Chains A and B, each alone.
Chain A
């Protein structure tokens, strides 16, 4: 994919505020979407997923919204904490076009100010 080099989009929020991270995906045929959190030097960590037949799914402090009309995915984090600081990636899978490999979107760096 197109490289953004070291200049990831950054979202800076105050501790306790809500965060919204957005992602535009590319394939209207994608069946499954996942949000991953990646801390520096670590592997991506699963946060929450959503199937294409849903438009909203809630987890603990996190909510994912899917708008298939405009191919948009968002991750909402309630009461953001310093431990939420990381790079967040959305990923999609088109099971009709692949055997399940993830196509990652561009990451967003979340910075939480105490």
Chain B
């Protein structure tokens, strides 16, 4: 079965650079969530989209922005990167219903900021 695809899988950036993470949800899933997971920590919700509109916002820094496109893929844009942004970034998608069903996670993008 098709799963959530994230790219790139690994990314190394310098401080103050920008990064773009991409997420391709499971086919027919219209809701996308982004989570950040620091080392040894639980995933923290950043932002979500339903039918290409932002539906909820969590602890996402103002330096980050995201959007969902017409094909339902989503991109997380990160600017002025800081050392503390180094983490695993997961995207999850869920079935039609505005996020009322199980979220399936992608493999994550490991971002390292030097």
B40 surroundings in chain A (CB, below 8 A): 3-8
Assess the A6–B39 pair: CB atoms within 8 A: yes
Set B42, B100, B108: member contacting A95, Cβ < 8 A: B100
Q: Please give the distance in Å from B107's CB to the nearest CB on chain A.
A: 5
Residues of A93-110 at the interface with B, using a CB-CB cut-off of 8 Å, are 95, 98-107
**By the criterion of a CB under 8 Å from any partner CB, how many residues of chain B are at the interface?**
31
Assess the B104–A103 pair: CB atoms within 8 A: no
Interface residues of B (CB under 8 A from A): 4, 31, 33, 35, 38-45, 48, 50, 55-56, 58, 90, 92, 94, 98-100, 102-108, 110
> What is the bound-complex CA distance between A105 and B41, given in angstroms?
10
Assess the B90–A43 pair: CB atoms within 8 A: yes
Interface residues of A (CB under 8 A from B): 1, 3-8, 34, 36, 41-46, 49, 89, 95, 98-107
> Interface residues of A: mostly helix, strand, loop or mixed?
loop
21 residue pairs from A and B, CB less than 8 Å apart: A1-B42, A1-B44, A3-B41, A4-B40, A6-B39, A43-B4, A43-B90, A43-B92, A43-B108, A44-B105, A46-B103, A46-B105, A89-B42, A100-B33, A101-B33, A101-B45, A101-B58, A102-B92, A105-B42, A106-B42, A107-B42
- Please indicate which of the listed interface residues A36, A100, A104 has the most CB atoms of chain B within 10 Å of its own CB: A100
A89 surroundings in chain B (CB, below 8 A): 42-43
Assess the B43–A100 pair: CB atoms within 8 A: no
